[in-house]
Amino acid sequence: MNVLRVALDVPVATLFEYASDADRRIAPGDRVVVPFGARERVGVVLELAAASTISASRLKPVVRVLEGAPRLPQDWLAQMRFLAGYYQRPLGETVASALPPRLRSLKPLPKRRAAGPAREGADSAVAAFVARHQLNAAQAAAAERIGGALGRFRAFLLHGVTGSGKTEVYLRLVAAVLQQGHQALVLVPEIGLTPQLEARFREAFPETPIAILHSALEDSARTHAWLDAARGQAAIVLGTRLAVLTPLPRLGLVVVDEEHDASFKQQEGLRYSGRDAAVQRAKLANCPIVLGSATPSLETWFNADAGRYERLSLPERAAPGAKLPLVRTVDLRAEPAEHGLARSVVEALRERLARAEQSLVFINRRGYAPVLACEACGWAAGCARCSAHLVLHAAARSVPRLRCHHCGAEQAVPARCPTCGNADLRPLGRGTQRVEEALGALFPGARIARIDRDTARRRGALARALEGIGRGEADLLVGTQLLAKGHDFPALTLVAVLNADSALLSTDFRAAERLYATLAQVGGRAGRRERQGEVLIQTRFPGHPMFAALARHDYAGFAEAQLAERRTAGFPPFVHEAALRAEASRLETAMRFLRDAAALAAVPAGVQVYDPVPHVVTRRAGYERAQLTVQSLSRPALQGFLRDWSERIAATAPRSLRWHLDVDPIEFD
């Protein structure tokens, strides 16, 4: 009799043993239905064993094997083991979170679809692609280096300024991989933000089946895409971080575009970094990986400095005549802003309007104003469930509302101050809606388009708006981060940045890195054609070295300066970090749990456990949040410590309290 060791979606670290009849030929990677308590559950066989660790009488047989999907391959199972170990999650939960819901259910899977176009013709299609897409010298050199590594693991950092043609390099490499009959996995931060990327892949490889994978897909679309990828039918898999968890039997290349983007980090359940998981995945599949960005994460930059990744640079824009934008600061101390806009910024906008060019006004805050306050008594509208102000939303032609950006709570705007009765409540600060209003008053004839999470809420709304802007249907764009990424607006020549300073004042040690990336990205939208673009940054700190680096387009200089600071301060990537987080209805409960957990720790030499602190936004949706940080210079020492510690915590944590470990955490709200 064979003993199967099965991963089940339950929060315990062990595998569960079942008997299989020998002739069934069940193997690791099979999905099986097994009895568990009073119910039947779907699990994944991870190991076979000759003998059971439990008594034969308690060893229950497997109910059946689930058909319809290929057996999960060895490298996928190895990836699950790695992720479970690295992120301190039970293997069963890790496997479950990697499978689309349908693959974890007892329902039968959809039948195999008609086979996609066969490989015949791939060669001529690729030849046609190569003929249509000529690379410049820097692109060709990068493609040559990476292409030379096909068939073995090697990690590359493709550091290319905005518009340098990184995507063309990816496409060329994908063409080479397709020609070899292999699959390419391309990861992007958020698919909804980059419809142009998908279009470019489809246009470049019109005959090639492409699977799109992201979390907003409906169940059946996701199942189909996953199966196409797992069956090897989809030669290109384009997706967000979760796509890295897809089995790919012929994986030959991994690309992570905008690798610095924080949305590669999952912030719940299995808190993995899609980028780091992708590197690991490439290692297991023995293929090269390309991490592409204009502003690489400092972790990746550091890995390139250390020689673990090979750095390749595209220092110039690729399109004929396109130059990087001129970047200048506008000193708000010398030139006070009116309605949020400095006079020289207004003049620059006016000039662009006169020349029928587009301008983008960037403000990373949606809504009308971040605070609604009473100037008589100092009251400000706050969320009852979060330690945060309510944001005033007052778009044209809609009833003003107060909304919490942390928990989503919404309420009407009070007619008078609830504390002193004053009827004159004032919005303080500004968001996209208020800027839109100010621009409307300044430039009555201009067509203004606002792009933020509010205008992009409806499905397809963002893509439609971006297309319209691309066709020149707007003169002035007002928007958040959503406008920063990957879009190519031919007529856009000016970018004005309104609220950069709030990030300069942040306590998060990653704030400077993030701000540089955002400003380089948003500035990168300007002047992507013949006319050089201009970026104006309103600030009270025009002497800040970040702005000088931005003006020189010197990410390398900025990164090295940041790394020097982090080395001195003892921050990642010079130390490895994990956070233990707790949430409870009372802050003291969460803090006490963390103190008790720290007391449980058998801290080895080289590992440092810090005191618990409340989260920056302490209360969120009614829960008080606190965390403590663990650091070590040694990754193995940290991993070993966390394994032992998390078991101790799990054994003693009160059931009522929510807690988790986050390995390589990044701050979030």
Give me the residues that bind Zn ion (CB under 5 A), please: 374, 376-377, 379, 383, 385-386, 404, 406-407, 409, 417, 419-420, 422
Query: What is the nearest approach in angstroms of Zn ion to the Cβ of residue 313?
Result: 44
Q: Which does 168 bind (CB under 5 to 8 A by kind): Zn ion, ligand ADP, none?
A: ligand ADP
Task: Give 315 or 418: the residue with its C-beta nearer to Zn ion.
Answer: 418
Q: Token pair of 209, please?
A: 């089946």
Residue 136 CB, nearest distance to ligand ADP (Å)?
4
Residue 377 interacts, among ligand ADP, Zn ion, none and using kind-specific CB cut-offs from 5 to 8 Å, with: Zn ion
Least distance from ligand ADP to the Cβ atom of residue 141, Å: 12
Answer with the entry of ligand ADP, Zn ion, none that 160 interacts with (C-beta below 5 to 8 A by kind). Answer: ligand ADP
CA distance 251 to 241: 16
C-alpha closest to that of 122 among 235, 203, 285: 235
User: Which segments of 585-651 are extended strands (E)?
Assistant: 607-609, 613-620, 623-632
Please measure the distance between the N-terminal and C-terminal CA atoms of the chain and give it in whole angstroms.
Answer: 52
CA gap 18, 40 in Å, rounded: 13
The smaller minimum CB distance to ligand ADP, of residues 169 and 591, is found at 169
Alpha carbon 117 to chain centroid, angstroms: 32
Tell me how far apart the alpha carbons of residues 449 and 444 are, in angstroms, rounded to a whole number.
13
Least Cβ distance, residue 168 to ligand ADP (angstroms): 4
Chain centroid to CA 159: how far? 18
Count of CB atoms within 10 A of residue 533's CB? 25
Interatomic CA distance for residues 443 and 437, integer angstroms: 10
Q: How far is the CB of 529 from ligand ADP (least distance, A)?
A: 8
* Cβ 348 to ligand ADP shortest distance, Å: 24
Distance in angstroms (rounded) separating the CA atoms of residues 439 and 341: 9
Count Cβ atoms below 10 Å from residue 12 Cβ, excluding itself. 12
Nearer to ligand ADP, 47 or 554 (CB): 554
> In whole angstroms, what is the distance from residue 628 CA to residue 634 CA?
18
* 420 interface partner picked from Zn ion, ligand ADP, none, CB below 5 to 8 A per type: Zn ion
128 binds, among ligand ADP, Zn ion, none (CB under 5 to 8 A by kind): none
Q: Which does 419 bind (CB under 5 to 8 A by kind): Zn ion, ligand ADP, none?
A: Zn ion
- Work out what residue 136 binds among ligand ADP, Zn ion, none; the CB cut-off runs from 5 to 8 Å by kind: ligand ADP
Residue 515 binds which one of ligand ADP, Zn ion, none, with CB within 5 to 8 A depending on kind?
none
What crossing angle do the helices spanning 587-600 and 635-652 adopt, rounded to 10°? 120
Nearer to Zn ion, 374 or 628 (CB): 374
The smaller minimum CB distance to ligand ADP, of residues 164 and 297, is found at 164
Helix axes 461-470 and 195-204, enclosed angle (nearest 10): 70
Residues 94, 85: Cα–Cα separation, whole Å: 10
User: For residue 447, what are the contacts with CB-CB under 8 A and spacing of at least 6?
Assistant: 473, 474, 475, 476
Partner from Zn ion, ligand ADP, none contacting 139, C-beta within 5 to 8 A by type: ligand ADP
The nearest distance, CB 280 to ligand ADP, in angstroms, is 25
H/E element, 451: strand 448-451
Q: How many residues does the chain have?
A: 669
| Closer residue to Zn ion (CB): 49 or 377 | 377
Q: Which is nearer to Zn ion, 365 or 406 (CB)?
A: 406
- Which one of ligand ADP, Zn ion, none interacts with residue 406, CB within 5 to 8 A by kind? Zn ion
Minimum CB distance to ligand ADP, residue 507 (Å): 32
CB of 478 to Zn ion, least distance (A): 25
Choose between 383 and 469: whose C-beta lies nearer to ligand ADP.
469
Closer CB to ligand ADP, residue 258 or residue 534? Answer: 258
Task: Measure the CA–CA gap between 249 and 251, rounded to whole angstroms.
Answer: 6
Q: Which does 109 bind (CB under 5 to 8 A by kind): Zn ion, ligand ADP, none?
A: none
Nearer to ligand ADP, 134 or 568 (CB): 134
- 163/479 with CB nearer ligand ADP: 163
Residue 63 binds which of Zn ion, ligand ADP, none (CB < 5-8 A, kind-dependent)? none
The distance from CA 655 to its chain's CA centroid, rounded to whole angstroms, is 31
Give the shortest CB-592-to-Zn ion separation in angstroms.
24
Cβ distance to ligand ADP smaller for residue 86 or 205: 205
Return the residue matching tokens 């409340």: 614
* Pick 257 or 310: Cβ nearer ligand ADP: 257
Question: What tokens appear for 345 in the block?
Answer: 């910024």
Closest separation in Å from C-beta 161 to ligand ADP:
7
Closer to ligand ADP by CB, 99 or 519: give it.
519
> How far is Cα of residue 237 from the mean position of the Cα atoms in its chain?
17
CB of 174 to ligand ADP, least distance (A): 13
What ranges make up the beta strands (E) of 221-308? 236-239, 251-257, 288-293
385 interacts with, out of Zn ion, ligand ADP, none, CB within 5 to 8 A per kind: Zn ion
Q: Give me the residues that bind ligand ADP (CB under 6 A), please.
A: 134-136, 139, 160, 162-168, 318-320, 488
**DSSP state letter for 656:** T
CB-nearer residue toward ligand ADP: 222 or 525? 525
Q: How far is the CB of 130 from ligand ADP (least distance, A)?
A: 12
Please name the residues in contact with 154: beta carbons below 8 A apart, sequence gap of 6 or more.
Answer: 288, 289, 310
The least CB distance from residue 279 to ligand ADP, in Å, is 20
Q: Which residues of 170-204 are buried (b: 16+ CB within 10 A; e: fewer)?
A: bbbbbbbbbbeebbbbbbbbbbebbbbbeebbeeb
For residue 264, give the nearest of 285, 304, 291, 287 by alpha carbon.
Answer: 291
Closest of 291, 292, 315 to residue 553, by C-alpha: 315
DSSP string, 458-527: STTHHHHHHHHHHTT--SEEEE-GGGTSS---TTEEEEEE--THHHHT-S-TTHHHHHHHHHHHHHTTS-
Shortest CB 138 distance to ligand ADP, Å = 9
